[in-house]
Amino acid sequence: MTSNTISTHDKAVLNRIFNPNLPYGDVVDENNEEVTPALEEIETDEAKEAKQYEAEGVDAAEAGDLELALNKFALAIQVCPDRGSGYNNRAQALRLKGDVQGALQDLNKAIELCDAKGSAACQAFTQRGLVFKLEGDDEKALEDFKRAAALGGQFARQQVVAMNPYAALCNQMLSEVFRKVKSGEM
């Protein structure tokens, strides 16, 4: 008896086999914790103004003008100092400029302001994990990626999987098997 349909689980397994570097779409946290929903931001006039400064800062950073970007992010923080997003964005510009300590301070502040919840905290944990990884501190990086993944971060989930030595070995062996099958060696 054959069926033309496969289960959702089987599709997920096949997707992981054929796309091992893509983030999981339905990963359950290893501690069986539910993903934390994003916190809704109250849309005040100050928050709107801060968002505008941040958008201008992002545009400046994308154009390669990190000084202007940093100035715009500083204005966003000045207008709305209790908003984590401004610190996240400034941290990215600081990191690009080579100021790792300044970036870490801003990321810590963003996490504190967000009470380690919501999308701004997810972004801050992900960025801080990347900084730790670039600095060679894989243990701290993995811890932050796990926290970001628990907040719904797909990239962070991908990093957790990639940093798992058993998963990396399994992916390497599976890739080798597929290479041999494609080349006719098996």
How does DSSP classify residue 21?
Answer: T
CATH code of 55's domain: 1.25.40.10
In which band, very low, low, confident or very high, does the pLDDT at 27 lie, cut at 50, 70 and 90?
very low
In the block, tokens 């086999």 appear at 17
* pLDDT per position as a tens digit, 135-179: 999 999 999 999 999 999 999 998 998 887 776 677 778 778 888
Predicted confidence at residue 180, as pLDDT, reads: 83
Q: What is the mean pLDDT of the chain?
A: 81
**Number of separate domains in the chain:** 1
Q: Do the domain assignments include residue 158? A: no
Region 92-118: mean pLDDT is 94
| pLDDT(105) > 60 | yes
- Percentage of residues in the chain with pLDDT exceeding 70? 76
Q: Which residues contact 92 (CB under 8 A, 6 or more apart)?
A: 61, 103, 127
Q: Decide if 26 is inside a domain.
A: no
Owning domain of residue 64: 37-153
Q: State the pLDDT confidence band at 24, using cuts at 50, 70 and 90.
A: very low
- Is 18 within a domain? no
Please report whether residue 41 resides in a domain: yes
Q: Give which of 122, 125, 148, 175 is closest to 27, Cα–Cα.
A: 148
Q: Which two tokens stand for residue 179?
A: 């290479």
Q: Which pairs with CB-CB distance under 8 Å and at least 24 residues apart come from 22-30?
A: 22/158, 23/154, 23/155, 23/157, 23/158, 24/154, 24/157, 24/158, 24/161, 25/154, 27/149, 27/157, 29/146, 29/149, 29/150, 30/146
Q: 182: which residues sit within 8 A by CB, 6+ positions away?
A: none
In a domain, 14, yes or no: no
In a domain, 148, yes or no: yes
Instruction: Tell me whether residue 21 is in a domain.
Output: no
Closest C-alpha among 82, 103, 102, 90 to residue 53: 90
Identify whether 2 is part of a domain. Answer: no
The reported pLDDT for the residue numbered 168 is: 63
